[in-house]
Amino acid sequence: MAEIIKNVKRTINAWALFDWANSAYALVISTAIFPVYFIKNTPDLIEIGGYTFTNTSLYSFAVAFSYILIALLSPILSGIADYTGRRMFFLKMFTFMGSLACMAMWFFSGEDQLWLGTSAFILATIGFTGGIVFYNSYLPLIVTEDKYEKVSAKGFAAGYLGSVILLLFILSMVLSPDTYGIEDSRMPARIGFVMVGVWWLGFALITFKYLPKDERLFTDKNVFKKGFQEIIKVAKELIHKPNVGKFLMAFFFYSAGVQTIIYLATPYAEKVLNFKDAEMIIIVIVLQLVGIAGAYLFAALSNKVGNKNSIITMVFIWLFICIAAHFCTGKVLFYFIAGGVGMVMGGIQSVSRATYSKMVDEESSDVTSYFSFYDMLNKLAIVAGTMAFGIVDNITSNMRYSVLALAVFFVIALIILYATDFKKAINVKVVGLEL
């Protein structure tokens, strides 16, 4: 790829705007509206192939299935993108897939369209998660290392702010449909699904315009085979970088807990604590607005005490959140728990992304493949977390035990983090050589 001028304000803003665009999916579809809509418009028990599932466990399994598919697919696509120089091509492809799938969720109006709605949700999830690996891989290409934390936090903050703006409008329709001349109680959410798709695609087009363009490398070789080879090459390089490997292991375990809580926080509040729609609004707004502050707070904390201490602090908070949620019986306490989730939700994702960016050699031609490892582990972590949550929920029919089970992931992550030398991991730039 041709030389890219770094730290260009317009490029950074365009990069952050993609978070503004696709975070509407993360908030409206995966966190706030769709989980509750799915539970309300499907029976408590659903029989599939002779097996009976709770609707909450079925939802968690749908999330897991989405991430299994993309975890298998994205490393290969990333390797191909590195080899053919088509990073932007794949970012666009997944964005179009996800946004159009969101619009298709309009047709999910109840149990009769269960498979249609679930399939559209899975495709939207694949589009969202598939694009992130290519989006993340631009960070070390457009800014210098000293700005990773700040720019990474800017992306997350833009995502939280933009998604809240859209969510508030959708929620105004959900809570007061008469104001908009809507009679069907399901219609506001369905309109919201379409709006997410339009918002996502519309703002992403601006990002596509200003991010560095692909420099296509023409080859007559089998690019799919080369994709596998690129991934294998990175795997071999990681063998000589044990501290990078340890960080990725810790990242896997704490991400399993973090991402599962993000996906299932609203179903938990609705089903276990009997939160109503208006009360759910407060929870979601607290999550998002506190998340903005958290992203910047822990970016600043990382600069002061180091990335390792910052991440360990956040993992301890996540562990406490799991335990507190298990024993929580009152709504007031849950609002405080939601505030805690918001504080570390953006922080741990932002600092983790910045930390890994420091570990990856930005001059490497395999930068996307390195990020695909990171993203693949994140996806597999979601599979592990949501599967564990769904299995425990299906066995016990009590989501309290499911959220407590997630605490195990954070304990394992803490043990690995304490054994990881972040300085050596970050300073490794040559395979097999620690400086």
pLDDT tens per residue, range 137-169: 788 788 887 787 788 778 877 887 888 889 889
Q: Which of 192-196, 364-368, 408-412 has the lowest mean pLDDT?
A: 364-368
Tokens of 161: 């702010």
In angstroms, the CA 224 to CA 317 distance is: 42
Name residue 52's beta-bridge partners: 47
User: Which pair of structure tokens corresponds to residue 50?
Assistant: 């002779």
Report the pLDDT averaged over residues 361-382.
71
DSSP letters along 269-300, please?
HHHHS---HHHHHHHHHHHHHHHHHHHHHHHH
User: CA torsion angle for 407, 409, 411, 416 (degrees, to 10)?
Assistant: -170
Q: What is the reported pLDDT for 362?
A: 53
Q: Locate tokens 């996906």: which residue?
A: 263
State yes or no: pLDDT of 433 exceeds 60: no
Question: Domains in the chain, please, with CATH?
Answer: 9-210+221-427 (1.20.1250.20)
CB 401 within 8 A of CB 319: no
At position 386, the amino acid (one-letter code) is: T
Token look-up 């035990």 returns: 401
| Top-confidence residue, 3 or 97 | 97
**Rounded distance between C-alpha atoms, residue 122 and residue 263, angstroms:** 13
Q: Select from 17, 69, 90 the least CA-distant residue to 369.
A: 90
Residues 295-323 as b/e (b if ≥16 CB within 10 A, e otherwise) read bbbbbebbeeeebbebbbbbbebbbebbe
Query: Quick one: pLDDT at residue 435?
Result: 23
More confident residue, 368 or 210: 210
In this predicted model, what pLDDT tens digit does every residue of 217-226 receive, in sequence order? 655 556 666 6
Give the per-residue pLDDT at 434: 29
pLDDT score of 431:
32
Strands 51-54 and 45-48: antiparallel
**Can you give the pLDDT at residue 308?**
87
pLDDT at 224: 66
> Is the whole-model pTM more than 0.85?
no
Contact 57, 393 (CB under 8 A): yes
The count of other CB atoms within 10 Å of the CB of residue 416 is: 18
Residue 215 has pLDDT above 80, yes or no: no
The number of residues in the chain equals 435
Question: DSSP class of residue 330?
Answer: S
Report whether pLDDT(97) > 90. yes
pLDDT digit string (tens) for 9-67? 898 999 999 999 998 998 888 877 888 888 888 888 888 777 788 888 888 888 888 88
As a dihedral over the C-alpha atoms of residue 140, residue 143, residue 144, residue 147, rounded to 10 degrees, the angle is -110
Which one is predicted more confidently, 352 or 359? 352
pLDDT band at 3 (very low <50, low <70, confident <90, very high): low
The encoded tokens of residue 311 equal 């991440």
Q: What amino acid is encoded at 163 in this protein?
A: S
Residue 389, pLDDT above cutoff 70: yes
430 confidence band (pLDDT: 50, 70, 90): very low
- Percentage of the residues of the chain whose pLDDT score is greater than 70: 89
Quick: pLDDT tens for 246-296.
888 999 999 999 988 887 887 888 888 888 777 777 777 777 778 777 777
* Per-residue model confidence (pLDDT) at position 373: 74
Lowest-confidence pick of 108-117, 148-157, 197-206: 148-157
Rounded alpha-carbon distances, angstroms, from residue 2 to 139, 215, 216, 227: 16, 7, 11, 21
- Count Cα atoms within 13 angstroms, Cβ side, for 143: 24
Whole-number mean pLDDT of the chain?
Answer: 83
Q: Is residue 344 within 8 Å of residue 360, measured between CB atoms?
A: no
The predicted structure's pLDDT at residue 223: 63
Q: Provide the 8-state DSSP code for 110.
A: S
* pLDDT for the residue 184: 87
What tens digit of pLDDT does each residue of 310-358 get? 899 999 999 999 999 999 888 888 888 888 888 888 788 878 877 887 8
Asked whether 360 and 371 are in contact (CB, 8 A), the reply is yes
- Tokens of residue 349, six digits: 């994702």
Per-residue confidence (pLDDT) for residue 271, from 0 to 100: 80
